[in-house]
Amino acid sequence: MVQSKYIHKSHNVSVLLYHFVCPAKYRRVVFNRAVDERLRDICIELEKRYDIRYDIRFMEIGTDKNHVHFLIQSIPTYSPTKIIRTLKSITAREIFSHHPEVKKALWGGEFWSDGYFVNTVSKFGD
């Protein structure tokens, strides 16, 4: 697990942690070892790409058979909705391009369910 850190910007200092849960479309079982590894790689690339602009940091990623838990640190400038919209669109596109069998299992449509769960998490909690 990566330790959360205070993010210093020109006018604020923050330590905002969000716990997101994103189910696969139709709650289909689509996460296996290969898809899980690809998802983690995509998130690492996304973190590098958006670190300066969004300050998105993936603290933890946990997959189950039909949903994913993300623990993400970001800055107050970007809403949880903007963060998750960016995350879901990029990961869906990349997973479909690398794993066409997943797109077929989801009837060629969307990867993620429209909804998601978000909760704020304390740096000092368990």
> Would you list the DSSP string of 43-65?
HHHHHHHHHHHH--EEEEEEE-S
Give whole-number Cα distances, 59 to 11, 30, 68, 108, in Å.
Answer: 24, 23, 13, 31
pLDDT of 96 > 60? The answer is: yes
Q: What pLDDT digit, counting tens, does each position of 25-75 carry?
A: 999 999 999 999 999 999 999 998 876 666 889 999 999 999 999 999 998
Q: What pLDDT digit, counting tens, does each position of 11-21 carry?
A: 888 889 999 99
- Which residue ranges form the domains of the chain, and what is each CATH number? 13-121 (3.30.70.1290)
pTM of the model: 0.88
